[in-house]
Homo-oligomer: A and B are copies of this chain.
Amino acid sequence: MGTKYGNIAHDLREAIAQGEYLPGSTLPPITELMQRYGVARDTVRDAIGLLTNEGLVIPKRGIGTVVREVDPVSLTYSPSSPAGTWQVQTTGAGKDTVEEAGWEAADLDVAHRLGIAAGEQVVHRVRHFVKGHGVAQISEQWVPKHIVEAIKANGGGDLADASNRADVEKNLFELMTEAGHAPVNAEESLSTRMPDPQERDTMDVPPGVPVLVTRRVTTEAGSKPVETTTAIGAGDRMSATFKVPLKY
């Protein structure tokens, strides 16, 4: 025998998998599980804690331990992904909001990604992708000075102004193209980790749900970077889809 709470968690996990407890319904109350297994309250809570951290259930005060809805990713059988593979695919329509915008000095990481020196001025834009009742993705974008100035000179507006939503409504990449800096390539790197408390708060991520981290560098002709982005997406509300041409 392993641990008591491990065994209890195993039983509950199996029961959920067998459909004994359907998504949206609740597990037996702690008190009942205490009696059924003849253990103390904290032992049951440890078991539920395991399931919570696996993303299977969400305990709710006054309600019960609710079984989570099934992975929404299984719904992504939809027609075809939107043009531009850098777009994020979610299970529904969403809206972009610009939270912040302004000049700042590039840190080491951003400078490296943009191929500039650390400390050089860049425009930093923070956007939220709102879907349904909450933020599904936090996006931080950095644009080098000469690109910002080129767009401004071309009548594309000031990217350092948060109230300027031109890049959102018209697509920043189009503005770059019109300004003579057409992006031709994007390299995206995806990874995953658990959210920090701030991210968990902003996106209202339940316990047991990780985030999808996307780091992108977009380049124009000559492999010169025109922007770089780091996006943090709630793992229960989004996935990223890529269409890749193969050469064989």
A174 within 8 Å of B (CB atoms): yes
Question: What size tier do the contact residues of chain A reach?
Answer: 35 or more
Complex CA gap A65/B194 in Å reads 18
- Greatest chain B CB density within 10 A among A85, A112, A191, A212 is at A191
Q: Are B241 and A189 in contact (CB under 8 A)?
A: yes
Q: Are A82 and B193 in contact (CB under 8 A)?
A: no
CB neighbours (8 Å) of A177 from chain B are: 248
CB neighbours (8 Å) of A84 from chain B are: 246
Q: Are B235 and A85 in contact (CB under 8 A)?
A: no
Complex CA gap A76/B187 in Å reads 12
| With A193-B55, A194-B53, A210-B192: A242-B244 Cβ-Cβ less than 8 Å | yes
Q: Are A247 and B210 in contact (CB under 8 A)?
A: no
For chain A residues 1-18, which have a beta carbon within 8 Å of chain B?
A: 10, 13
CB neighbours (8 Å) of A82 from chain B are: 244-247
A102 within 8 Å of B (CB atoms): no
Q: Are A190 and B212 in contact (CB under 8 A)?
A: yes
For residue A181, give the distance in angstroms from its CB to the closest CB of chain B. Answer: 10
Q: Are B54 and A196 in contact (CB under 8 A)?
A: yes
For chain A residues 194-215, which have a beta carbon within 8 Å of chain B?
A: 194-197, 207-213, 215
Complex CA gap A83/B184 in Å reads 18
Q: 25 A-B Cβ contacts within 8 A? A: A10-B197, A54-B197, A71-B191, A73-B191, A82-B244, A82-B247, A83-B247, A85-B242, A89-B189, A176-B248, A177-B248, A182-B248, A183-B246, A184-B245, A184-B248, A185-B243, A187-B244, A188-B242, A188-B244, A189-B241, A190-B240, A190-B242, A194-B209, A210-B235, A218-B246
For the complex with contacts A187-B244, A191-B239, 8 further pairs of A-B residues with Cβ separation under 8 Å are: A10-B197, A53-B207, A73-B215, A186-B244, A191-B235, A194-B209, A194-B210, A210-B210
A residues lining the B interface (CB < 8 Å): 10, 13, 42, 49, 53-55, 71, 73-74, 76-77, 80-86, 89, 109, 112, 173-174, 176-177, 182-197, 207-213, 215, 218, 235, 238-248
